[in-house]
Structure 1
């Protein structure tokens, strides 16, 4: 069972993995981030730093400023996934005609081997949405009152 400190550490690990993953995809694999990916990075990168410091200090006060940033990033991730899934068709945040990378570019995250079928399900935007959801859940998880 998670204690208060473990939930904070878990949220930090999720933010750290998401941050390192985005850096790997762009700097090692050469995948160019779209506009919505940049907005999600702007929300995720500080979380990796803030949650790490807060976890080491046992500072649950980090929730006051980390949770709103995680919710904002979750909103960007949700919107990008809605575009990818074809739910949002009238508003396009990323237009390839402007020279920007399309938000719906299907980067081969899982390669071309045995896991290739996951490329259509667990896309980079979906992984971002999962990461923000986990962070929000871990930070918002109701904690028992200590008397």
Structure 2
């Protein structure tokens, strides 16, 4: 059986790296707005579909690892997050194979809705609301992981959705 703590540590470090990138990107947007200078993300732009695919693939494999190997029962909000992540892995994989770039307007809404669900789920966990997602359901407030003082599974998902939005946005820029 795979070492759950090892996988969790790897996913947590990737989440921190993703969060740092998101922070740098947001700061660059502020800088661009204030200075009227354009910052080029050419390397990311050239590989935006590939980077988005890798993020979606890791998120999908990670969620399947937690439910199928680690035995963590996903709550209702986890299932909704999966609904918005899993199709992106397939669509981005096909887009890479076909070298298609017109998926921005399909994938960004999926990621935005998934990010809102993840953010809501994260708040439920952090505020420690003792709530379940249904009568017989697993509680949405259960924290199966908590690393670096803030990383839970919904935060991992929120970071993944955010990265996909940013990578696709950069890929669309002129």
Matched, 1:105 2:142: yes
Does structure 1 retain, via aligned residues, the 8 Å contact 2:115–2:158? yes
- Calculate the TM-score normalised by the size of structure 2: 0.69
Question: 1:127-146 alignment to 2 at 5 Å?
Answer: 127-141=156-170, 142-144=172-174
| Corresponding residue of 2:20 | none
| Corresponding residue of 1:61 | 102
- Calculate the TM-score normalised by the size of structure 1: 0.81
Segments of 5+ residues of structure 2 without an aligned counterpart are 1-41
- Residue 143 of structure 1 and its aligned partner are, at CA, apart by 2.0
More helix, by proportion: 2
SS at match of 1:47: helix
Segments of 5+ residues of structure 1 without an aligned counterpart are 109-116
| Corresponding residue of 1:76 | 117
| Corresponding residue of 1:94 | 133
Q: Which runs of 4+ in 1 moved over 6 A?
A: none
Assess, with a 3 A threshold, how the Cα gap between structure 1 residues 120 and 94 changes in structure 2: closer, same or farther: farther
